Structure 1
Amino acid sequence: MINSTKKISSTIKAETLKQRDKKHLWHPLTQHKIHPEALPIVKAKGALLYDENGATYIDGIASWYTAMYGHCNPYILEKVQEQMQQLDQIVFAGFTHEPAIRLSEQLIRILPDNQEKIFFSDNGSTANEVGIKMALQYHFNKGEKRNTIIAFEDGFHGDTFGAMSASGLSVYNGPFEDFFIDVQRIPTPNSENIDAVIKQLQEYNKTHKIAAFIYEPLVQGANAMHMYESKYLDQILSICKEHHIITIADEVMTGFGKTGKTFASDYIETKPDIISLSKALTAGFVPMAVTSCTQEIYDAFLDDSIGKAFFHAHTYSANPIACSVASAAIELLETEEFQNNIGRIIHAHKRFDTTIKNHPKIKSTRQQGVIYAIDLDIDMNRYGKKRYEIFDHFMNNGIALRPLGSTIYILPPYVITEEQLQKIYKTIIDVLDIV
């Protein structure tokens, strides 16, 4: 038995990670016939990723907007180690613990003032799934059947069925659309269409029993970082309030400082009834999500009838280690150092924009907080060959960016240095020569 184990170990060591990966792993958002290999990363620190050959890459998207405080942040690591020696996991149905209580207090303090209750789940998609179910059951518990969700065109809210139903990107949803809940879509508002969007919403309210409106405030991440103004969203939210339509702000991507304020909802006068959070919530360390809501939403589930309770649960809900990570991340976010870092990145993007926005191969640029996006003036499939050529060019130059079709965007960790930012900017300029 010992000899057999040694033989297996020897065989594994003889193969590269890339070779071993290809045997059994199926990666997300990947057409393996076009792009069959994944890059093995063996270490990450700060804004840098290290592959198995020792090459380094600047993480220009904070690993899908999660590691905003830098990879393996030492302060968060310290808090994780402390918690792991105290309490690892406990079922959250019928039990509670100090890390969850502490985190709930921190979140309620920094969330919009109308938020009062915190419900834990596992990831951004399930945070939105919870929000949609809360909204549907809220009306059900009130004795009113409302079964339609309003959502923006080309929005993205996750891959579970409720969240996917609300998402408008057909590249993700095509095979499953016959199984979706009823969702009606409206365009994201702007100065030219706001009156038409409001009219469309009001017509839907006459012809459908609308339970909720779910939206990504100010920035639609998967929709190539499409941005729109808060004043127009505020008008839509006001109409929803008038008609008792539950509003769900999907802040999975935008939350925790990325838009320049703690939450994108902080820019908007009319606050949401429900907010979905994940990604930067746990700083890239472990999976966890939160759905917050108002006292009014919570009270609709209080009843002598057990059937009016909210029957949704995840095994790892409010995992103590994940809660400790999130608490430490919020502490870092509120420090002067990280607030200054956010401001520094915002100003660096603005300076870069002045130098590149008039380039003949650039159609448009836009920025919201630390999120900066460039639309190339070329026709390119979202996950086609040209997109992978651009992706590979960045990686070959030590930059980890993931173009969304013809859109190149930057959403870096708050710890990124000025030198690292300048390297990203220079590589973007260089990539214009190959498109």
Structure 2
Amino acid sequence: MSAIWHPFTQHGLNEPIPQVDRAEGAALYTQDGRRVIDGISSWWVTTHGHNHPRIIAAIRDQASRLDQVIFAGWTHAPAEAVAAGLRALMPAELTRVFFSDSGSTAVEVALKMALGFHAHTGTSRSGVVVMEHSYHGDTIGTMSVGERGVFNAAYAPLLFDVDTVPFPLGDGDNTLTALETLCRDRRPAALIVEPLVLGAGGMLFYPAQVLTRMAQICRAHGVLLIADEVMTGWGRTGTLLACEQAGVVPDILCLAKGLTGGSMPLAVTMATEPIYAAHLSTDRAKTFFHSSSFTANPIACAAAAANIAIWQDEPVRTRIAALAARQTAMVARLATLPGVTNPRTCGTIAAIDLAVPDNGYLSTLAPRLLAHFREADLLLRPLGNTVYVMPPYCLDEDDHAQVEAGIVAAIGAVDRGRQ
């Protein structure tokens, strides 16, 4: 029996846990000889495909040169390359790059930057506004700014209070009115949002114009905008950043997952110059006090630098557009099947809901779907009654057709179960 305690896994259900031996492109290969299509990019991280030759070569080369060095007061070439590459790719206003090692820590850093900015500029602002159904991670700060519920109910005594705006409905007036009121009456420090797509909340999409107006409201009231693009960044919504579609440049931007092409754990929090300047002083008490032992690990940075180079000189956006078109066509076909509701796509993200009585995250349907997909050699992980596909950009037409066939078969099994 394995001693491993797996994340988001209820071991009491005794569900099988396949062992993966290797991966290539959009496929995983298990110990027992199965080829499994990775339909969710191994939890939304793998962009160009598993074991991309350029990224693996960069990792191999860097591992023979410099494996690790303290980043407090020291630097190295891979980190400098990543920072320069990000400055070239990302909005010009985001001038500063702070390294960390996961999406959760990138968000924690962003929250601390926002509060530090207000503390050091004397505005006396400390509140944070969040969006209903959002998810920003599993550390204490990120759980505090995420949806309260099954994910964090046991840890409620540790969480700090936030103000919440409703998820946008229709043209989003419900959200915008609530945000305007909170910004005027509560004078919060920051608003944190997942731009365009709320991932773990159920692949919930909202219009770009709502994000545009939220940014305008924040600007008018001196509220910092934090864009959590940990999942939506690196092309998932069809553009490099989801914020591009709204014409928005956030004050603070969180990136992880696809930063290394999904090969290594690494994250960055990018900030505008005023955020950095608020911490710049001869007074050591204004230092930005955050780090981890493996901040800007050289091997992970080498992978990220290779990923940035791929974005700069390969037709990544063309691949994204082709995949997005196939996703849209697939969802249109799935929408005609019995029990399918709310068909939707955003860039390379496709999602449908299945009409069942219990449709929350703990829906009894989810484990049955998960087992069906596992037996069909598909890595798809439903969110309650929501089935979504978010594959690597290298997924070819044949594998995409197999993913669709697996979903059709699963929907058929659900429909037969209702009869």
Q: Aligned partners of 1:407 and 1:362: how far apart in 2?
A: 10
Cα separation, partners in 2 of 1:226 and 1:169, compared to 1, 3 Å = farther
Q: Aligned partners of 2:174 and 2:103: how far apart in 1?
A: 31
On the 8 A contact 2:187/2:221 being kept in 1, the answer is no
1:172-187 mapped onto 2 (5 Å cutoff): 172-187=151-166
Q: Aligned partners of 2:275 and 2:4: how far apart in 1?
A: 41
Q: What's 2:401 paired with?
A: 422
Deviation (angstroms), 1:358: 2.5
Q: What's 1:147 paired with?
A: 126
Cα separation, partners in 2 of 1:206 and 1:344, compared to 1, 3 Å = closer
In the alignment, structure 1 residue 401 sits paired with structure 2 residue 380: yes
Secondary structure in 2 aligned to 1:58?
A: strand
Deviation (angstroms), 1:384: 4.3
Deviation (angstroms), 1:201: 1.9
Equivalent of residue 374 in structure 1, options 352, 358, 368: 352
Amino acid at match of 2:321: G
In the alignment, structure 1 residue 85 sits paired with structure 2 residue 57: no
Q: What's 2:247 paired with?
A: 269
Q: What's 1:7 paired with?
A: none
Amino acid at match of 1:102: A
On the 8 A contact 1:190/1:232 being kept in 2, the answer is no
Secondary structure in 1 aligned to 2:253?
A: strand
Secondary structure in 1 aligned to 2:71?
A: coil
Deviation (angstroms), 1:206: 4.0
Deviations 1:176-209 (A, max 9, x none): 22322221110122435x3332332233234424
Q: What's 2:73 paired with?
A: 94
Equivalent of residue 105 in structure 2, options 100, 105, 126: 126
Q: What's 1:12 paired with?
A: none
Q: Aligned partners of 1:340 and 1:212: how far apart in 2?
A: 35
In the alignment, structure 1 residue 227 sits paired with structure 2 residue 201: no
1:193-342 mapped onto 2 (5 Å cutoff): 194-342=172-320
Q: What's 2:417 paired with?
A: none
Deviation (angstroms), 1:122: 1.0
In the alignment, structure 1 residue 54 sits paired with structure 2 residue 33: yes
In the alignment, structure 1 residue 38 sits paired with structure 2 residue 17: yes
User: Which consecutive unaligned segments of at least 5 residues does structure 2 have?
Assistant: 415-419
Identify which range, 101-110 or 203-212, moves more after superposition.
203-212
Amino acid at match of 1:71: H
Q: What is the aligned-residue identity percentage?
A: 36
In the alignment, structure 1 residue 188 sits paired with structure 2 residue 167: yes
Q: Aligned partners of 2:349 and 2:367: how far apart in 1?
A: 22
Q: Normalised by the size of structure 2, how large is the TM-score?
A: 0.95
Deviations 1:311-331 (A, max 9, x none): 101111111111110111122
Q: What's 1:14 paired with?
A: none
Equivalent of residue 162 in structure 1, options 126, 141, 155: 141
Equivalent of residue 113 in structure 1, options 92, 96, 104: 92
Secondary structure in 1 aligned to 2:79?
A: helix
Deviation (angstroms), 1:36: 4.2
On the 8 A contact 1:189/1:233 being kept in 2, the answer is no
1:14-29 mapped onto 2 (5 Å cutoff): 19=1, 21=2, 24-29=3-8
Identify which range, 338-347 or 252-261, moves more after superposition.
338-347
Q: Aligned partners of 2:248 and 2:40: how far apart in 1?
A: 30
Cα separation, partners in 2 of 1:390 and 1:196, compared to 1, 3 Å = closer
Secondary structure in 1 aligned to 2:226?
A: strand
Amino acid at match of 1:308: K
Identify which range, 322-331 or 210-219, moves more after superposition.
322-331
Deviations 1:1-28 (A, max 9, x none): xxxxxxxxxxxxxxxxxx4x2xx11111
Cα separation, partners in 2 of 1:397 and 1:196, compared to 1, 3 Å = closer
On the 8 A contact 2:228/2:253 being kept in 1, the answer is yes
Q: Aligned partners of 1:288 and 1:334: how far apart in 2?
A: 19
In the alignment, structure 1 residue 413 sits paired with structure 2 residue 392: yes
Deviation (angstroms), 1:359: 1.9
On the 8 A contact 1:151/1:185 being kept in 2, the answer is yes
Amino acid at match of 2:27: L
Q: Aligned partners of 2:100 and 2:51: how far apart in 1?
A: 23
Deviation (angstroms), 1:39: 1.5
Amino acid at match of 1:50: Y
Amino acid at match of 2:350: Y
User: Which consecutive unaligned segments of at least 5 residues does structure 1 have?
Assistant: 1-18
Secondary structure in 2 aligned to 1:432?
A: helix
Deviation (angstroms), 1:411: 0.4
On the 8 A contact 1:375/1:407 being kept in 2, the answer is yes
Amino acid at match of 2:152: N
Amino acid at match of 1:323: C
Q: What's 1:10 paired with?
A: none
On the 8 A contact 1:255/1:264 being kept in 2, the answer is yes
Deviation (angstroms), 1:35: 4.1
State the Cα RMSD in Å.
Answer: 1.4
Q: What's 1:6 paired with?
A: none
On the 8 A contact 1:218/1:229 being kept in 2, the answer is yes
Q: Normalised by the size of structure 1, how large is the TM-score?
A: 0.92
Q: Aligned partners of 2:258 and 2:314: how far apart in 1?
A: 18
In the alignment, structure 1 residue 64 sits paired with structure 2 residue 35: no
Amino acid at match of 1:139: H
On the 8 A contact 2:166/2:178 being kept in 1, the answer is no
In the alignment, structure 1 residue 362 sits paired with structure 2 residue 348: no
Secondary structure in 1 aligned to 2:62?
A: helix
Equivalent of residue 432 in structure 1, options 393, 411, 414: 411
Cα separation, partners in 2 of 1:191 and 1:36, compared to 1, 3 Å = closer
Deviation (angstroms), 1:351: 1.6
Deviation (angstroms), 1:404: 0.4
